[in-house]
A and B are shown apart, each in its own frame.
Chain A
Amino acid sequence: MVKLSKIIKWYLKTIMTSPVYEIVLLIVVLVQYASLFLSSSYFMFIFDSSILSFPVTAVFVGSGIFRDKSIQIFELNLFQSRRRISISKVIAAFITFIPILIINSLILVYFNYSFLIVPSILSMFVIFGIMSLSAIYNSTNQAITTTIMFSFLLPLSIEALLNNYASMGMRPNIVIASFSYLFSPLFAFYFFKDGIISLNPDYGYLFSFVFASFLVCIYILFTDKFQIKP
């Protein structure tokens, strides 16, 4: 049986050997730094991160683990375990996310917005969950499209929805508030601070953590249930 570490190394090589990785890191740093440096409010940071930096990161990291069916079959023959392949993909993608998480946190500490570290990490974790589940497709294009759609559109929709509540002077009920935390902890936190959402962030963070973990688990558990037509 092929060791898990060897399979992880294989996927890390796919992601890390691409020069685009450094470019993505640079984009994330620049966008996040600029959004805090050039603006007096941290809303720009939340907005830029949610609809630009995080989705770009997810699509880039995802493209390193998404595989067309012919490559999936090749790798299945090479590593001889669907389960190990899916676990390795998740671990490799997670390792690739770590430098971005660290940079993100350092920038927040530098600008004295440490309270945004937890929701931004969780926002990235939710996007990571969506990206992991998208890897179940047998087509790179489909997986990338799904990741873009969900990682970009969900936070945007949550922001639009909560803004509407705010403009009408209403408060979302517990279900909507929970969904807001599920799909975009950063925006939910912002609207909590603004007094629009009443649900305590601790519960919201728990929801989003469980939700993202659930997506990752579904991918790992169900990856061998899907058919691959050569």
Chain B
Amino acid sequence: MEDINIKAENVTKYFGNVVALNRISFEIKGKRIAILGHNGSGKTTIISMLLGLLKPDGGCIAINGVKSYENHKWVENNISFCFEKGKFPFHIKVSSFIKELREIRGRKSLVDELVSELNINRFENDFINELSSGQEQILYVLSTIASQNNILFLDEPFSHLDVFVRSKIYNYLRSSNKEFIIATQSIDEAELLCDTYVILNDGNLIWQGNMTELYDDKTFEVIPNPDLPDIGLNVIYTIENRYICEGNEGEFSKLVKEHKVIGFKRAGLRKVYGKIKQDY
């Protein structure tokens, strides 16, 4: 498994008067990269450019030295992708689609394994137009991860999926030897699956880095005990009802024993994200 290398230089993209990406420059290397950001931050635009679906209006962006929008063949031979909501062109039975997929992908055993793992059997006799959006999305994800291509681009692919299916796909992705790039809003998902991160906000690059850089200092994410609001530590900021504090593991263990906090862990990506929220 080789690293994915993305290099962006002054990438700009407009949709009408809206600036989707504003002269973004970064260079990042990693096997599993997360692109994080709120709605409209530019995640899908970057993914689309890396897939060659869109061209930048200014600057250039390349993956492994290849400008995808100039070399579709390279993308077609190396990358499989999945966007937030898949749509099927016609209404056939799920079992017929799986049969087609076995033929198209030429990987019968993998498709069968994933069908059973993702519990697709339970709705394989239904027609695709009768499926829920989550079930439809499972088929889309299945068609992507069953591909022979080594790089996967996943743009918020799990947003309609239930927690059980999600965890099975997480396990598959973590144990597979595929490299991938995920665009997501979920800090937990990014932390669980990826080792390298790009964080965007309103078309601007906010932060980029890897796991080592994230866990370099003594910043912890603390879940306070609501009955004892004073946890006796300097809170840097709060995010999603959690405190981001500085300290060491000994101090936090002591607070857990005293029931002042319910739990704590290294702040990781949440720390960076909290800082962004504070700054913007």
Interface residues of A (CB under 8 A from B): 1-2, 6, 10, 13-14, 17-18, 67-68, 70-71, 73-75, 77-82, 224, 227-230
Known A-B contacts A2-B104, A17-B92, A77-B80; A227 and B87 likewise in contact (beta carbons under 8 Å): no
Question: Is chain B's binding surface mostly helix, strand, loop or mixed?
Answer: mixed
Residue B100 lies at the interface, judged by CB distance under 8 Å to chain A: yes
Residues of A with C-beta under 8 A to B92:
13, 17
Contact yes or no, B83 A78, CB < 8 A = no
Distance of A136 from chain B, by nearest CB (Å): 15
Which among A2, A17, A229 is the interface contact of B53 at CB below 8 angstroms? A229
Q: A2 vs B107: C-alpha distance in the bound complex, in angstroms?
A: 12
- Nearest 4 Cβ contacts at the A-B interface: A70-B87, A80-B76, A228-B53, A14-B90
Contact yes or no, A75 B55, CB < 8 A = no
Residues of A with C-beta under 8 A to B53:
73, 227-230
Contact yes or no, A74 B76, CB < 8 A = no
Contact yes or no, A74 B87, CB < 8 A = yes
Residue B88 lies at the interface, judged by CB distance under 8 Å to chain A: yes
Distance of B265 from chain A, by nearest CB (Å): 34
Contact yes or no, B15 A229, CB < 8 A = yes
Which range contains the number of B residues in contact with the other chain? Answer: 20 to 34
Distance of A78 from chain B, by nearest CB (Å): 6
Q: A77 vs B140: C-alpha distance in the bound complex, in angstroms?
A: 9
Q: A67 vs B54: C-alpha distance in the bound complex, in angstroms?
A: 18
Q: A80 vs B53: C-alpha distance in the bound complex, in angstroms?
A: 13
Contact yes or no, B104 A227, CB < 8 A = no
Distance of A190 from chain B, by nearest CB (Å): 39
Residue of B nearest to A10 (CB): B100
Q: A13 vs B96: C-alpha distance in the bound complex, in angstroms?
A: 11
Residue of A nearest to B143 (CB): A78
Residue of A nearest to B73 (CB): A81
Which among B77, B86, B143 is the interface contact of A70 at CB below 8 angstroms? B86
Distance of B275 from chain A, by nearest CB (Å): 29
Residue of A nearest to B47 (CB): A230
Distance of A110 from chain B, by nearest CB (Å): 35
Contact yes or no, B54 A228, CB < 8 A = yes
Residue B89 lies at the interface, judged by CB distance under 8 Å to chain A: yes
Contact yes or no, B155 A230, CB < 8 A = yes
Contact yes or no, B55 A77, CB < 8 A = no
Interface centre among A6, A67, A227 (most CB of B within 10 A): A227
Residue B95 lies at the interface, judged by CB distance under 8 Å to chain A: no
Residues of A with C-beta under 8 A to B72:
82, 224
Residue of A nearest to B87 (CB): A70
Distance of B94 from chain A, by nearest CB (Å): 15
Contact yes or no, A77 B144, CB < 8 A = yes
Residues of A with C-beta under 8 A to B101:
78
Residue B82 lies at the interface, judged by CB distance under 8 Å to chain A: yes
Distance of A148 from chain B, by nearest CB (Å): 21
Residues of A with C-beta under 8 A to B144:
77
Contact yes or no, B44 A230, CB < 8 A = yes
Residue of A nearest to B140 (CB): A74
Q: A224 vs B72: C-alpha distance in the bound complex, in angstroms?
A: 8
Contact yes or no, B104 A14, CB < 8 A = no
Distance of B126 from chain A, by nearest CB (Å): 17
Contact yes or no, A227 B89, CB < 8 A = no
Contact yes or no, B76 A81, CB < 8 A = yes
Residues of A with C-beta under 8 A to B103:
6
Q: A14 vs B88: C-alpha distance in the bound complex, in angstroms?
A: 11
Distance of A133 from chain B, by nearest CB (Å): 20
Residue of B nearest to A11 (CB): B89
Residues of B with C-beta under 8 A to A75:
89
